[in-house]
Structure 1
Amino acid sequence: MNIFRGVAIISTQVPLILFVGAKFDLIFGFNRMDSGFGLIVFLFVFIPLLNLFWFIIEVIRSFKFSRHQSRAAAFLMPFIAASFLIESIAIDLYIASHARM
């Protein structure tokens, strides 16, 4: 479960890193290629779904383990997962606000 959490946390930052890297031309034109656009569209859709899945898993785990732990410890991880879900949605809205029609 810790590996899944790490992947979800790191992958949440990837669209923002790609966007900022493309803005300052740090990724050497990768954003102008078909593969770069495909990757950013894939991440645009996949990352919020991954974080939503992580949030659901953490809520289920917290209810299952709430009998064995204190209340504060049981609901810490769903709060962290929810904050990363909100962050991924905010990053997507930030990237979508810069799209040219």
Structure 2
Amino acid sequence: MSQNGIVLVASVSIFSDDKVLMIKENKPAAINKWNFPSGRIEYGEDILYSARREVKEETGLDVNLIAATGVYNFISSTKNQVILFHFIGEVTGGSLNLEEDEIVD
């Protein structure tokens, strides 16, 4: 199996009481899949900044990152090696407003 490239991703779990915020994807490689708010880390971008930015872009919420759960490595359906940095965040502001082009629920 050949590898296309390495993709760095930041992902955030957001808990409130006994609930967790998840999004339903509308991207071609992940249609109707449930996921945590996440996205690619841009070249030269700070990982923590990227995690907060992705949450804001996808959900409209501002978050404070309170913990890291780990770094995960897998091969995507497009044969990229994905290195995912996952965090736990708490909402500090903003209001829920889903990114309409990429999020359906």
**TM-score w.r.t. length of structure 2:** 0.24
Higher normalized strand content (fraction of residues): 2
Query: Under a length normalisation based on structure 1, what TM-score does the superposition of the two structures give?
Result: 0.25
The structure with the greater share of residues assigned to helix is 1
Q: Highest CA radius of gyration, 1 or 2?
A: 1
